[in-house]
Structure 1
Amino acid sequence: MLAARAELPRKGIDWAALGWMFLFFWYISGVTQFFLYATDSIGWRGFRQTILLSGFWLVPLLLFPGRARQIAGVLGGLLWLCSLPAFGYYLIYGQDFSQSVIFIMFESNQAESAEYLSQYMAWWMPLAFLAYGLGAWLLWRKIRPVYLPGRSAIIVSLLIGIATLGYPARHLVFNDGFSIGLTKFEERVSTVTPWQLMVGYHQYTQQLSSMQELLSANAKLPPLKNLVDAHADQPGTLVLVLGESTNRQRMSLYGYPRATTPRLDAMRDQLAVFDNVVTPRPYTIEALQQVLTFADEQNPDAYLTTPSIVNLMKQAGYKTFWITNQQTMTERNTMLTTFSEQADEQVYLNNNREQNTRQYDGDVLEPFSKALADPAPRKFIVVHLLGTHMSYKYRFPEEYDHFKDRQGAPEWVTDDQLPTYNSYDNAVLYNDFVVSSLIEKLASSGGRDLLLYLSDHGEAVFDSPENDMLGRSEGKPTSPMYTVPFIVWTSGQWQGSKAADFRAELGRPYSSSNLIHTWADLTGLSFGEFDPSKSLISAQFKQRPVLIGNPYQPKSLIDFSLIKPKGQVALDDKKVVQAAPIN
């Protein structure tokens, strides 16, 4: 074939034909990513990857130019079919397809799938699919051979392969271990057809296996000893709302000058606002492993060997629900999904591949209402928000874009920092709407109900002139990373009870790593493992060092009280608190 190619007349490279080939293959992967990027629904990384990796499919067309159109038709048809789930998912949700969607697909039965299609398949969607296929067909008609002289086709094809698929594949070779390299390779091809489905399914099976191991271990844990429920015969709904990346110092409920929490401010007389609670770690998974279990900074692995708060409530006879707007089946979030799968019912709302996606927490309100309407007399509902997670501009809809200028912003915030600073406050403003709406919905149910809201950790967003940090770093801790809101609302039927009068406890220094003890005390539960000295509302409360830091590096643990109010750690005189038992 190469010899036959050499006998053909040469007029140089047909760049237009090469461009049509590339556009055809890019269209199949790129059109969905283009729409996502153009509508500001997601960052540009996925769109960029489609441009890079779509060129790989030029290789067989250049090696066999005489059959270029036939090869393009077969490859294009297969790729188009593989791209339909992502395209359809975008039409329905305006979001990116991910392994989380694959998780839900495989966890759904036939009846659920039929109900899903009947509910979401609009009349215009088949027309959109037809137009999408028509576009691919019109581009395919433009395909024509590109002949390269001599062995140039082999050399050019090799270079294209290295420049496209070979570029992310380098991680398989130049990394510390194949597993790490494979993860990085998958990250870089996960937006492009057909790798999107392949990577999604592979990651789904991996995370499912890890989750099943964790769930199996959890199921073998012995029940809590001598569990006694003071309200055993009383109906009621108990709600735990987990926020994300929300620093209480940016909430007007806690004295911030901008009105970022007007709805919670208006109901303040109904709330117990604890103002001295900190998180043990500034990362979601690591923090919640302690917050939701008996683990703490001195026993960080106890989340693997002790019951969780969901186990506790199930043992107490509550029907349990988990409603989450966090990502589900990702390597990073396997532990979160494991916690959620311990509940009787789960609602997964966020199936995006990336966090930098417009996924609004208001979506939790409808499934929350459905959970409240469930006929079970005793319910425990966990609502896990995406809160004020970076990137902040994706956390609130347009009508909550309230803070746009310097009014109310500190003078040290630079012009470059101001948009980000304002976006965070707008995210807090929308979070106020969501949390207050959850309280209002629970209040309208008229039962013996309780809601506790806290954030997993805070976030530094240019909070002081001494520190212009953005984000979180355990190696460089500042106050905003650890100060979290901790708010309790109780219904009228709680009035006069111990749990409804918290005035003496609002300022106690407390680590959310001990939440399970406070939660048990709030809800009238006692058991062998319960320690009232670790309950924020107990008369037996005992003040301890409020430890923060990496518990696997005990010498790095410090007492949070040694962090200066404006956000800087007192590094010169900080006292290291060893991870020895503190009674």
Structure 2
Amino acid sequence: MPHLGAQPFANASGTPLLRRSSACSLAVMYLFFWYFSGPLQWLIYHADVAGLDGFWQASAASLLWLIPPLLFPRWTRPIVGLIGLVLWMCSLTALAYFLIYGQEFSQSAIFIMFESNMSESSEYISQYFSWSKLAVLVAYTVIALGLWFRVRPVAFSGRAKVVLCLLIAFASVGYSALHEYRKRGDLDMRIGKFQQNLQSASPWQMVIGYTQYRQQLADMANMFEGWKAIAPLQHQVDAHAGQPATMVLVIGESTDRQRMSLYGYTRQTTPQLDALRPELDVFDQVVAPRPYTIEVLQQVLTFADQEHPDLYLTTPSLISMMKQVGYKTFWITNQQTMTQRNTMLTTFSK
């Protein structure tokens, strides 16, 4: 009498159905995780913004999320759904940024996002909102949900499961970490390059960006503490000493000289400044040394510049020089600095 339980997991060609089913389930699960990083990197490549490195790095890093559902197959759908929710939220921001600017979501953009308050964020959204972009984001979400509904548990034996998880860990992050460790001599360079490789995949771009933002906050606080110990300039005098004088420094971070007639724009957008042109020193060959306001001010208000970025550590700031010759200094801003959430602007204004 034939053994009835001998072939229920094999097809006519002899291929074990259980093994093939597990491979298909694993592929669908990987496709779900890859979806939140790979397609965007492919778009970035085809927009000639970057090479294919980001695509391959994102594809490798996406493998890492297979490990939790492999280890706990009974909870596959909830685990995959929870991880997918985090990946979706982080990737949605990067996709929206690409739709608006046609560029990859950068560390500078992440810093600006963490610095912005609710009023600035709502104003930004209202300015760049469009129904077409919303439709793309909705379609992106619907496809993600469709992939999640197709996710199934993956059945592997205990030993095969452990071996597979180790292989996935090595392929996703282990190889990159080992490669950078052998290639770079300095530990900070190793960590920095490894983080850079991970940032092509969601959610590492946001996680690493926020970590670096917090580190820069701490560095800025230490920098200001260090300024207190910097010796004042020697032989500094005020040419107008003893006379009442008010010096006003205006920092307009959103002003674009490309739309100011003072700098040659065809429409008369700055008529009062145009009238004062003979009395003004107009600097029209200036390039910002950094991509966003806080880092620019670190050099604009100190002796530091693009070629000597660390001079702020050993020389006094403009504010310190003003105080040295007897000026009282005040900070007036239309941005939110008195807040429970510590930001670079709050630290700087203090």
User: So what's the TM-score if we normalise by structure 1?
Assistant: 0.40
The one-letter amino acid paired with 2:247 is G
1:77 is matched with: 85
Q: Are 2:208 and 1:199 equivalent residues in the alignment?
A: yes
Cα separation, 1, equivalents of 2:70 and 2:115 = 42
CA contact (8 A) 1:13 1:146 kept: no
Equivalent residue of 2:141, what SS? helix
Equivalent residue of 1:228, what SS? coil
The one-letter amino acid paired with 2:199 is S
CA offsets per residue over residues 75-127 of structure 1, 9 Å max, x none?
Answer: 21222122222122222222222332232123223322222122122233332
2:198 to 186, 189, 200: 189
2:105 is matched with: 97
The one-letter amino acid paired with 1:193 is S
1:225 to 229, 236, 245: 236
Cα separation, 2, equivalents of 1:27 and 1:67 = 21
CA contact (8 A) 1:227 1:316 kept: no
Matches within 5 A, 1:100-119: 100-119=108-127
Change in Cα spacing, 1:172 to 1:75, as seen in structure 2 (3 Å) is same
Equivalent residue of 1:453, what SS? coil
1:368 is matched with: 257
1:346 is matched with: 253
Cα separation, 1, equivalents of 2:149 and 2:213 = 37
Cα separation, 2, equivalents of 1:369 and 1:437 = 6
The one-letter amino acid paired with 2:274 is S
CA contact (8 A) 1:61 1:145 kept: yes
Q: Are 2:283 and 1:451 equivalent residues in the alignment?
A: yes
Equivalent residue of 2:85, what SS? helix
Change in Cα spacing, 1:186 to 1:371, as seen in structure 2 (3 Å) is farther
Equivalent residue of 1:129, what SS? helix
**Equivalent residue pairs, number:** 266
Equivalent residue of 2:285, what SS? strand
Matches within 5 A, 1:316-355: 317=247, 319-320=249-250, 344-347=251-254
CA contact (8 A) 1:171 1:182 kept: no
Question: How far apart are residue 452 of structure 1 and its match?
Answer: 5.4
Change in Cα spacing, 1:221 to 1:179, as seen in structure 2 (3 Å) is same
Cα separation, 1, equivalents of 2:29 and 2:104 = 25
1:20 is matched with: 28
CA contact (8 A) 2:258 2:265 kept: no
Structure 2 residues not aligned, in runs of 5+? 1-7, 10-15, 290-306, 309-350
Cα separation, 1, equivalents of 2:209 and 2:41 = 16
Cα separation, 2, equivalents of 1:346 and 1:452 = 17
Question: How far apart are residue 346 of structure 1 and its match?
Answer: 3.1
Question: How far apart are residue 27 of structure 1 and its match?
Answer: 0.5
The one-letter amino acid paired with 1:72 is V
Change in Cα spacing, 1:207 to 1:166, as seen in structure 2 (3 Å) is same
Change in Cα spacing, 1:168 to 1:316, as seen in structure 2 (3 Å) is farther
Change in Cα spacing, 1:222 to 1:74, as seen in structure 2 (3 Å) is same
The one-letter amino acid paired with 2:197 is R
Matches within 5 A, 1:124-523: 124-149=132-157, 151-170=159-178, 176=185, 178-215=187-224, 217=226, 222=232, 225-228=236-239, 317=247, 319-320=249-250, 344-347=251-254, 367-368=256-257, 445-446=274-275, 447=277, 448=279, 449-451=281-283, 453=285
The one-letter amino acid paired with 2:285 is Y
Q: Are 2:66 and 1:58 equivalent residues in the alignment?
A: yes
1:332 is matched with: none
Percent identity (aligned) = 35
Q: Are 2:56 and 1:48 equivalent residues in the alignment?
A: yes
Equivalent residue of 1:143, what SS? coil
Equivalent residue of 1:162, what SS? helix
Matches within 5 A, 1:546-557: none
Change in Cα spacing, 1:114 to 1:441, as seen in structure 2 (3 Å) is closer
Cα separation, 2, equivalents of 1:124 and 1:110 = 24
CA contact (8 A) 2:177 2:194 kept: yes
Structure 1 residues not aligned, in runs of 5+? 1-7, 234-314, 321-343, 348-365, 374-434, 458-511, 514-583
1:353 is matched with: none
Question: How far apart are residue 72 of structure 1 and its match?
Answer: 1.7
CA offsets per residue over residues 371-398 of structure 1, 9 Å max, x none?
Answer: 889xxxxxxxxxxxxxxxxxxxxxxxxx
CA offsets per residue over residues 36-81 of structure 1, 9 Å max, x none?
Answer: 2222233322222111111111222333334433322222122212
1:419 is matched with: none
Cα separation, 1, equivalents of 2:236 and 2:46 = 56
CA offsets per residue over residues 113-159 of structure 1, 9 Å max, x none?
Answer: 22212212223333222111101111122222332345112101111
Cα separation, 2, equivalents of 1:94 and 1:316 = 44
CA contact (8 A) 2:71 2:161 kept: yes
Question: How far apart are residue 369 of structure 1 and its match?
Answer: 5.8
Change in Cα spacing, 1:317 to 1:50, as seen in structure 2 (3 Å) is same
The one-letter amino acid paired with 1:228 is A
CA contact (8 A) 1:171 1:184 kept: no
CA contact (8 A) 2:28 2:147 kept: yes
Equivalent residue of 1:225, what SS? coil
Equivalent residue of 1:164, what SS? helix
Change in Cα spacing, 1:171 to 1:21, as seen in structure 2 (3 Å) is same
Task: Tell me which protein shows more helix as a share of its residues.
Answer: 2
Change in Cα spacing, 1:114 to 1:150, as seen in structure 2 (3 Å) is closer
Change in Cα spacing, 1:107 to 1:64, as seen in structure 2 (3 Å) is closer
User: So what's the TM-score if we normalise by structure 2?
Assistant: 0.63
Cα separation, 1, equivalents of 2:212 and 2:155 = 40
1:566 is matched with: none
